[in-house]
Amino acid sequence: MSFEIRERDILAKIGKLKTKHGKIETPTLLPVVNPLAQPVSTQELWKKFGCQIIITNAYLIKKNFEKTALEKGVHKLLNFPRAIMTDSGAYQILVYGEVKTTPEEITKFQEQIGTDIAVILDIPTGWQTDRHYAEWTVRETLRRAALTLKLKMKNDIHWVGPVQGGNHLDLVALSAQEISKLPFSIYALGSPTQVMERYLFDVLVDMIITAKMNLPPEKPLHLFGAGHPFMFALAIALGCDMFDSAAYAIYARQNRYMTEYGTVKIEQLKYLPCQCPVCTKHDVTDLKASPKPETERLLAEHNLYVSLAEIKRVKQAIVEGRLWELLELRARSHPSLLQALRKICSYADYIEKHSPITKKRGIFYFGPTGLCRPEVIRHQKRIQENYNPPKRAEVLILLPQTSVKPFHNSPEYRKIIRAITQTLGKKIPKIHICTYAAPFGVVPLEIDDTYPLSQFEMIWPPDYETIHYVAKQISDYLSMGRYKTVVFHNDPRNWGNAILNASRQMCKMRNIQFFISSNKLDPWSSKSLQTLQNVLKTSLAKKE
């Protein structure tokens, strides 16, 4: 039994988890099957919807169908021939305060009914619990985790070790560190349901990343209760591999129609904005006029189609290296998701460290939320920590970016380089040319064709926040004191004066000669070229 990783993007991964009832491709959604009332049959779940795995509640099965489950096993009981994950009933503790079973009992029962993936009977921390109780839930969960591993008799079941701590992030870190010392096949983040119900996705980001930073990166992470497809991209991008969801059925009971950006009451619908089998065979009138059980069934099917389609959409984005773009798109579904995307910036260094270095496609930069994406952070780090300009370079020429990439191949740059060569002759080795470019900051001309410096598209002209980010990167680069003279080729029509002012101020602080060319002119005009030539002659004459 193993977990094999095939593709990566951000912290997301496409993997294969081997179970005794077949391989499961992750990320995957596990529809919750209620053994007492199920709007979509388990036969349909695998035949019609292609579900590789489902999740059900071992505690409810034990309470209501114990004898049959022990005789037949959980797969025949539920009539589902593929992988099944069983929850221990711990969520009932969160809702009702207790369950009438013990860790020993539920461990033995899950083994006896032949589940593929089993969860220990942990103690959920819950949301906004006091510190004393939260500490106890962590200690007790760890005790039960160790106990379960001692009690288990079979080796063909993946056991899940939950991380507790709730919104106490230091406890989440401690819980993750300690449970990672135990040989679980899968880990899970406990107690997120109430956070998600309150749309506190920024808190969820803190919880997931804190757990991820302290768990083995090669093992799958399960997120309990991640029900709505509009947040799948967020959770998967943060490294979650498996989700269980009863939302498709719960929303159906509430007459709620799922979309990838939210839910709508069917009373408010005039159209069905979907091409799933339910929506192509029925219209809004059918849904409204059908008997309640039929409406619930149709809505549950539709909701499941939408949820599973979003998982596939995320997987395709991972393969293409476009998960960040999908993440930004989904973040516009709700202000709380956009807030969560901004929260991700707090962990930009960690995410960059664990993200792929290259991708199959270039990147799209839409605005300031993209400033903390791994590719931008990685370039910033490399320039600051690993890059050295040519040894003989004394004069830095900062040129604005062009629409043609790589920049050195643009007609504008070729014209400027010819002019510089004609002007300086033998002094050309003393010149180093860099670009100030959004969203990367400093782009040395000799590396501007490396990924992703010439493999990106962006909105033009840059927005205010992006310009000021580039200004800071230029200022930080100049602060290293690598040059004696800086010639800034200005493009105020597109960039304003923020980068110019930041460069001038840093040169003054570092006692670097600073010259401006192309002031208030088209930077690529003949007049601007002449200005640049004159400035270079003046700057080199002053040096001598």
Q: Collapsing DSSP states into helix, strand and coil, what is residue 391?
A: coil
SS (H, E, C) 339-388: HHHHHHHHHHHHHHHCCCCCCCCCEEECCHHHHHCHHHHHHHHHHHHCCC
DSSP symbols for 159-221? EEEEE--TT-HHHHHHHHHHHTTS--SEEEE-S-HHHHHTT-HHHHHHHHHHHHTTS-TTS-E
Residue 126 CB neighbours (<10 A): 20
Give me the helix-helix angle, 335-344 and 201-212, nearest 10°: 30
d(CA 251, CA 335): 21
For residue 262, the cross-strand partners are 259
State the chain's maximal CA–CA distance in angstroms.
96
Which position among 87, 116, 122, 202 bears the catalytic label? Answer: 87
Alpha-carbon distances, residue 528 vs 275, 496, 524 (angstroms): 56, 17, 6
Decide the pairing of beta strands 431-437 and 256-259. Answer: unpaired
Q: Which of the 8 DSSP states describes residue 292?
A: H
Q: What are phi and psi of 390, to 5 degrees?
A: -50, 145
Collect all residues with Cβ–Cβ distance below 8 Å to 233 and sequence separation of at least 6: 310, 314, 317, 323, 326, 327, 330
Give me the helix-helix angle, 411-424 and 526-543, nearest 10°: 40
Asked whether the beta carbons of 51 and 42 are under 8 A apart, the reply is: no
Asked whether the beta carbons of 462 and 494 are under 8 A apart, the reply is: yes
Q: Collapsing DSSP states into helix, strand and coil, what is residue 34?
A: coil
87 is catalytic: yes
DSSP H or E run through 23: strand 22-26
Q: Collapsing DSSP states into helix, strand and coil, what is residue 48?
A: coil
For residue 364, the cross-strand partners are 457
DSSP symbols for 429-469? GGEEEEEEETTTEEEEGGGTTSTTTTSEEE-SSPPHHHHHH
Token pair, residue 327, equals 């993440």
Helix, strand and coil percent figures for the chain, each rounded to 5: 50, 20, 30
Q: Which residues are catalytic?
A: 87
